[in-house]
Amino acid sequence: MAKCFSFTLSRDQCFRYSFRNAGLKSSTQDLGDGTIVHCWVPKTHKPQKPTLLLIHGFGANAMWQWNDFISPLASKFNVYVPDLLFFGESYTSRPERTEAFQAQCVMRAMEGHGVKRMSVVGLSYGGFVAYSMAAQFPEAVEKVVLGCTGVCLEEKDMENGMFIVKSVEEAADILLPQSPQKLKELMKFSFYKPAKIAVPSCFLADFIDVMCTVNRQERKELIEALYKDRKLSDLPKITQPTLIIWGENDQVFPPELAHRLKRHLGDNAQLVMLKNAGHAINLEKPKQLYSHLKAFLMDSCSPPQQDGNNRNTD
């Protein structure tokens, strides 16, 4: 019997309504080289407002990760929310899989929308892309927020036991779940306190069918590209004011990577650790995350912290 109702697709439609209600519209650009970039953009770009780019991590499309923030942020910024390549409606036939290529495609899309200056917020994998944008296009990126972004990891970290998983293959099996059991494992892995309410397996299977089966091989290649030959000595130091924000119980990218990134960037960055939070800080601590985003992005005159810019918040 054909499936007549999808909770995931229904939820997706609700998010579309939410984005449109916040003053955004769906836009798809053909970059002309086999690359298509979909982005939620302001219906009317207001020059008196600063511009903010929100970049999602692995998981569903951009709407699912930024829905809780879109309305309040759109009241203060010209907000742009792209789907990264192989997520949502964005795709490329080119072979590149690095975050540097993702960053170049996002930048080309923003230029296509006439945006020349922006602040960038990236969550998890999206933070890799945000960091690369800041490094490659320093004249375009004003401020950077990196949420639970293991950009300072090295390939040898996995061999040395930093991560719960023992291989990139194992990480991909969890991050790209293909069964309800694997999706439950990902939820347990991502949250400090996973929801105690049992989610029916049929709902989980529906989510996997809609969000996790398309472009799985390409997404796996994105994960592989993050780790392959990665060395801290090769990571450029970005010069923009940077907020590093992390869940102190993150199991995907352990907090040691947050402190490593702070040391790498020095006084140019401030580090905030969220208590009782895991990797999915946008879902687990949305109010705290929004508060820190607003303070960092809107207050250009905030003084440096006196404790080495390392704060813990509830």
pLDDT tens sequence across 97-112: 999 999 999 999 999 9
Summarize pLDDT for 236-292 with one digit per residue, the tens.
999 999 999 999 999 999 999 999 999 999 999 999 999 999 999 999 999 999 999
Return the higher-pLDDT residue of 92 and 185. 92
Query: Domain range spanning residue 283?
Result: 14-154+231-299+306-313
Judge whether 69 lies within some domain: yes
Confidence of residue 314 (pLDDT cuts 50, 70, 90): low
The whole-number pLDDT of residue 1 equals: 39
Q: Is residue 213 part of a domain?
A: no
Based on the structure, what is the number of domains in the chain?
Answer: 1
Q: How much is the mean pLDDT over the chain?
A: 92
pLDDT of residue 146: 98
pLDDT recorded at residue 139? 97
What CATH number has the domain bearing residue 284? 3.40.50.1820
Mean pLDDT of the 199-225 span: 91
Reported as a pLDDT band with limits 50, 70 and 90, residue 5 is confident
Q: Looking at residue 307, what is its pLDDT? A: 33
131: pLDDT confidence band, cut at 50, 70 and 90?
very high
- This model's pTM is above 0.85: yes
pLDDT of residue 55: 98
Residue 117 inside a domain? The answer is: yes
**DSSP result, the chain:** ------HHHHHHHHHHHHHHHTTEEEEEEE-SSSEEEEEEEESS--TTS-EEEEE--SSS-HHHHHHHHHHHHHTTSEEEEEPPTTSTT-EE-S---SHHHHHHHHHHHHHHTT---EEEEEETHHHHHHHHHHHH-TTTEEEEEEES--TT--HHHHHTT-SSSSSHHHHHHHHS--SHHHHHHHHHHH-SS--SSPPPHHHHHHHIIIIISTTHHHHHHHHHHHHTT--GGGSPPP-S-EEEEEETT-SSS-THHHHHHHHHHGGGEEEEEETT--S-HHHHSHHHHHHHHHHHHH-TTPPPPTTSSEEEE-
Q: How confident is the model at residue 313 (pLDDT cuts 50, 70, 90)?
A: confident
Residue 195 has pLDDT above 90, yes or no: no
- Is residue 48 domain-resident? yes
